Amino acid sequence: MQASPPPPPLRRKRRALDWPTALLIAIVVSAAGFVYWRDGSARFFDVVWSDADLFAWMLPNVLAGCLIAALITVLLPRDTIVRWVGKDSGFRGILISAAAGIIVPGGPFTIYPIAAAFIGMGADAAAVVTLITSWTTIGLSRSLVWELPFLGFDFVAWRWLAALPLAVLAGLIARAIERHWRAKAKT
């Protein structure tokens, strides 16, 4: 008889306007007011249109990253994610996340929606920290396209050798901090 999959993690309900969003809005409005006061309306509207162009360029990339993350949640069963990189995956989950971070292609538009999808599917926060750190510090696609042609195999090999422990260490530190907070919350 097969064991039933673990229940999905409880997600706290989020309001449309929470304090980080309100703080960000306050900073943006303050900065916009300062630019308008200091440089005048012509410069203010120049900045607004420039930011609108940047937003229009980024939006399809963000949507594509979110689509990839949504497809991952459909293609990978939740119980597999929990078993491989969940809270009880131990050191093996950290190593799997480090390996996944190495091979995940794309930029921040891809990795952060994937990381959010993994957390939503029950991955351990430490495993996601390892995934992002490994992607940032090692990244196979970046190494093959940029580093290897310009800097050579020896440099890439030494950098990988130095960076791989950093990703694992980041995950272990995140796990220790998370356990400490959980233990403190219980007392």
| pLDDT tens digits for range 11-61 | 667 677 888 889 999 999 999 999 999 999 999 999 999 999 999 999 999
Closest CA to 134 of 107, 165, 106, 98: 98
Task: Give mean pLDDT in consecutive 10-residue pieces for the chain, a chain of 187 residues.
Answer: 63 77 94 95 95 95 92 91 92 96 91 94 95 94 92 94 94 94 85
Q: What is the pLDDT of residue 9?
A: 60
Residue 111 to residues 12, 67, 101, 171, Cα–Cα distance (Å) = 23, 12, 9, 16
Domain ranges of the chain: 20-63, 76-186
* C-alpha distances out from residue 105 to 3, 24, 64, 128, 135, Å: 34, 30, 13, 16, 8
* pLDDT > 90 fraction of the chain, expressed in percent and rounded: 79
CA distance 106 to 62: 12
Is residue 174 within 8 Å of residue 138, measured between CB atoms? no
pLDDT for the residue numbered 187: 78
- The model carries a pTM of 0.78
- Taking a C-beta distance cutoff of 8 angstroms, is the pair 11, 119 a contact? no
Whole-number pLDDT of residue 15: 75
What pLDDT, on the 0 to 100 scale, is given for residue 63?
94
